[in-house]
A = this chain, B = another copy of it.
Amino acid sequence: MCQLLGMNCNTPTDIVFSFEGFRRRAGLTDSHCDGFGIAFFEGKGVRIFRDNHPASHSPIADCVKQYNIKSLNVIAHIRKATQGKVTIENTHPFIREIWGENWVFAHNGNLKDLPDMSDSFCQPIGNTDSETAFCYMAEYLKNRFKRKPSEIEIFNAIQEVTKELAQHGTFNFILSNGEWMIAHCSTHLHYVMRKAPFGKAHRIDDDGVIDFSHYAKDGDKVNIITTFPLTKDEPWIKMEHGGFVFFKDGDKIAEVLGTPKEIADDGTLGDCGIPTIQAA
């Protein structure tokens, strides 16, 4: 099972407090040890750090912590590969250029029998279902709109292509172009919206504590999206099956509510990074 972490804010914020809890799940409090990746947007640019070592012990993750990068949009992923090699090219988040923007995507789930992309303009580099799905999405969007459309058109188009892809299996994802962040829930995804008055929060994974009032100022808005809550004492919202949230500048600007669905804990729901099974 993999786990996802995303952050969207209205002021450049460092994600160290959340990431330090999250990365412990890669070997210490959980077993997502098959590499990690984290992408920080900086304007239209993006810095991506990846490692095929567990995030909890990776020197690359230590470097990320030390460098204390502040960003409006961050996406991170820790991987547990049930099948498929532990390689850099199979490490989330994936990145593609769409309409002259960097788009960054991380997935938790398990998609089967995805369309063959080997004659497409946008092709997967590794052999995960996740990257294939992202390429399918990129190709769909580029073919549908030659130039960047309005945000609401983008949000609608992403819902449509997601509906198509979700027929192939479990499809929790976080996606950002550096301006906004969209998350879709199939099974497990939670978010919390931090704003004034800021208080204390205790991390679940190591009891680390922070008082956000020492770091944030009135008017700051920070949204954290993740597979399972990272803190004990904050009002995390559980997304439902089929739900979408669309965050921009720290605000939730659109939402599609899902439907509650009994989730069978059969161990397959959280898989990711399985090899693409091409349609015949």
Partner of A88, one of B46, B88, B96, B101: B46
Copies assembled: 2
CB-CB contacts below 8 Å: A30-48 with B: 42-48
Q: Which B residues touch A124, using CB under 8 A?
A: 100
Bound Cα distance A74, B142 (Å): 31
Q: Which residues of B contact A147 (CB under 8 A)?
A: 118-119
Q: Is the CB of B88 within 8 A of A100?
A: no
Mark the stretch among A59-67, A192-200, A202-210 that contacts chain B: A59-67
Residue A122, interface by CB 8 Å = yes
| Range of interface residues on A (Cβ < 8 Å) | 35 or more
A261 within 8 A of B: no
Is A97 an interface residue, CB under 8 A from the partner?
Answer: yes
Are the CB atoms of B123 and A97 closer together than 8 Å?
A: yes
A44 CA to B125 CA, complexed, in Å = 7
What residues on B are CB-neighbors of A101 within 8 Å?
125
A102 within 8 A of B: yes
- A residues near B (Cβ < 8 Å) are 42-50, 59-60, 63, 66-67, 87-91, 96-97, 99-102, 118-119, 121-126, 142, 146-147
10 tightest A-B contacts by CB?
A: A45-B88, A45-B89, A63-B63, A100-B123, A44-B89, A42-B88, A121-B121, A44-B125, A100-B125, A45-B87
